[in-house]
Structure 1
């Protein structure tokens, strides 16, 4: 690898078949290799990639930790909602919520919900469960052998914990649950991963534990992931048992604030929630019983460097609304919110700045408190989004709001 390589000459070698795109990193620094790839794409497709070439992150760090075959950067509009008052075990402040999105009217809608919640005194939020999971699948001869493996696991959790935790200075093994299905044995390992989202941590730790299982039982490992984890796929097990962080938020909104800020009544919002989010979702067989919680999760994930594909699990949300005599009570429960404030995309410069806006970048003191705070703020933000959309539907203002904002 050289720092003075000519990107045009390298691109020509790729186009002539002498080099493959990924081999450019062996012949040039990351920035030059990215330039050469853009030259190849421009020649092959006719696309102009001048804007793609304008990025703020360190290409060496990004190529090392975040992406392969680096070409450049993709920019998204970043909006801000709030202040959003949140009172939680970890979160306790008025937050400005960074939202990266291309969906017009979304930030305005969430901002209205934030304003309503803050005027009502703020949202309560709590992380009630932590556990990043990895679930390997093993082959056994039959169910008798499978039951033998399950009993061994129950009797030797400490040995598995010792092997798993030896691979990390931060993760702790919280639980191992076994499932015997014919000649398959699935073991669902759950870890507290502190301030990291922890998927890689859980994978490496589980691999070490699996070696113990294979050595001590008749089970033979087939795959380190057997899809009972379940990562980046809609799955009832995550909606029920949770994954990452299970977090809930609620708010009591006085009737006059509902009428003033949301332009409707508690009764109308409660009816829409029941008929849409609960009955409609049940009829659809949905795993999420909410209006659009994934909108908030996705926008904050993109802004703060989370794994965007895990919005699938982040949409596991149940929204409840109750019209009371003098107030509206509303809550959201996000069963499987997978977030971190260290590692992965959180190191990228604009994502780090968004975490700074929230005051949660890096490791917390105590460990895990920053990721807990982020989770609680996201839950409160999701609640703001739910309230605003339900109110727009109840008052029949949804389409007019999009028309007014030119979407």
Structure 2
């Protein structure tokens, strides 16, 4: 049997174009200047109006649906998003920031909408954003993209599974053509075969433009499978469009390569800011991180993140994302070290950032308003949203490490979460 490697060309490694690096190095720090969100009267109508007026005057955006001044009534637009509709669930939505980024796709200051019922959550992320902002922009780079579907075929024996797999790898260019015929946006980037006895699992990897891509890659994969079933001389005794090998909406060690977008971010925190804003010390912050990484390993956790799912779920709900994708998107690997001047270097890498700025729930009124608040509504914006999302997670990780290392964690939840 021939070597089962795809003849589709794609980078098998993290890659950064030199023009992106030049862009990051030439970042204009004037972009970092942004006004602070009014935080007075946190639970009153007056405070709500202050913040709405701030958004309207500062960003020139109408937030009529978020504010409740307008009500959704375009039921026809629900097609493709929900069945048996009865109404809208209302989840409180607030903003944090500004979050200042120097990214390959996102540059500048951003006010982040978060929808949650967990008290203390926005306060924590807001504090992390402030600490980062006072130390400079968070540097963010998107490294890889890819969304997978894993059709699975069962045969009478291993020999048939092997012959089938060999035939499949001879037709990958045809699969690419079928993908182009099936979607205006999907591109088939990789075909991989995994043989398990008499079972052959195909791992089809695509890019999906500015959509999150799950439905898109399912449709394209089905088209490929129908071609295989009609033309391959080796016929399976059973097949399915998904063999649960893609890591879709769940944590999987396999997804540490890429699912959605692989993004990495870093910040250097100055000692004085760690003390004044995060209310801890570099030594305590580092020790808390080190203990939590060790604990995650002992517990068998994939990654070393503390609570990226908190920020992602709140952001995804606000911005019309598939919230179930926090299952894989929240896998994070963090790095922290004490460097010169007793400053802290902190980095986070997330390999499964599945977000979209078109399709799905992005066009509903409040979700559209939240995406517009980020400058992320419409085509050409999904990379920007992914970089904002990981920067948000970075701020949340820093804030929770700080709260735990200084003994503030319980008190903060007693004050804001009860």
Instruction: Give the TM interval when normalised to the shorter protein.
Output: 0.7 to 0.9
Tell me which residue corresponds to 2:347: 331
Instruction: Determine if the alignment matches structure 1 residue 136 to structure 2 residue 136.
Output: no
1:108-154 CA-to-partner distances (Å, cap 9, x unmatched) read 00000000111111101111111111111111222222222222233
One of 218, 226, 244 as aligned partner of 2:243? 226
Structure 1's 98 and 121: CA in aligned 2 closer, same or farther, altered over 3 A? same
Structure 1's 219 and 377: CA in aligned 2 closer, same or farther, altered over 3 A? farther
Q: For 2:142 and 2:235, how far apart are their aligned partners in 1? A: 36
Instruction: Determine if the alignment matches structure 1 residue 374 to structure 2 residue 385.
Output: yes
Q: For 1:292 and 1:323, how far apart are their aligned partners in 2? A: 22
Query: Counterparts in 2 of 1:99-248, with a 5 A limit?
Result: 99-217=114-232, 218-220=234-236, 222-238=239-255, 240-248=256-264
Q: For 1:55 and 1:75, how far apart are their aligned partners in 2? A: 14
Q: For 1:97 and 1:175, how far apart are their aligned partners in 2? A: 34
1:348-371 CA-to-partner distances (Å, cap 9, x unmatched) read 10000000000010101xxxxx10
What is the deviation of 1:234? 2.2
Tell me which residue corresponds to 1:363: 379
Q: For 1:160 and 1:224, how far apart are their aligned partners in 2? A: 15
1:298-342 CA-to-partner distances (Å, cap 9, x unmatched) read 010000000011110111111221111321111111111110000
Q: For 1:404 and 1:291, how far apart are their aligned partners in 2? A: 21
Instruction: Determine if the alignment matches structure 1 residue 388 to structure 2 residue 399.
Output: yes
What is the deviation of 1:400? 1.0
Tell me which residue corresponds to 1:404: 415
Unaligned segments of structure 1, at least 5 residues: 1-53, 365-369
Q: For 1:101 and 1:406, how far apart are their aligned partners in 2? A: 12
**Bigger Cα Rg:** 1
Structure 1's 357 and 145: CA in aligned 2 closer, same or farther, altered over 3 A? same
Q: For 1:270 and 1:216, how far apart are their aligned partners in 2? A: 58
Q: Do the aligned residues in 1 keep the contact of 2:118 with 2:417 (CA within 8 Å)? A: no
Q: For 2:70 and 2:218, how far apart are their aligned partners in 1? A: 31
The alignment partner of 2:274 has SS state of helix
Query: Counterparts in 2 of 1:270-309, with a 5 A limit?
Result: 270-276=286-292, 278-309=293-324
The alignment partner of 1:194 has SS state of coil
Tell me which residue corresponds to 1:16: none
Tell me which residue corresponds to 1:42: none
Query: Counterparts in 2 of 1:4-23, with a 5 A limit?
Result: none
Tell me which residue corresponds to 1:23: none
What is the deviation of 1:62? 4.3
Deviant stretches of 4+, over 4 Å: none
The alignment partner of 1:186 has SS state of strand
What is the deviation of 1:227? 0.6
Q: For 1:165 and 1:68, how far apart are their aligned partners in 2? A: 30
The alignment partner of 1:309 has SS state of helix
Tell me which residue corresponds to 1:267: 283
Q: For 1:289 and 1:164, how far apart are their aligned partners in 2? A: 36
1:207-258 CA-to-partner distances (Å, cap 9, x unmatched) read 11112222333143511011111211222211x2221111111111111111
Q: Do the aligned residues in 1 keep the contact of 2:264 with 2:349 (CA within 8 Å)? A: yes
Q: For 1:381 and 1:125, how far apart are their aligned partners in 2? A: 11
The alignment partner of 1:346 has SS state of coil
CA RMSD of aligned residues (A): 1.6
What is the deviation of 1:59? 4.3
Q: Do the aligned residues in 2 keep the contact of 1:264 with 1:391 (CA within 8 Å)? A: yes
Q: Do the aligned residues in 2 keep the contact of 1:138 with 1:219 (CA within 8 Å)? A: no
TM-score (norm 2): 0.81
Q: For 1:103 and 1:192, how far apart are their aligned partners in 2? A: 34
The alignment partner of 1:379 has SS state of helix
TM-score (norm 1): 0.83
Q: For 1:72 and 1:289, how far apart are their aligned partners in 2? A: 38
Query: Counterparts in 2 of 1:63-78, with a 5 A limit?
Result: 63-78=78-93
Question: How many corresponding residue pairs?
Answer: 348
The alignment partner of 1:334 has SS state of strand
Unaligned segments of structure 2, at least 5 residues: 1-68
Q: For 2:231 and 2:80, how far apart are their aligned partners in 1? A: 35
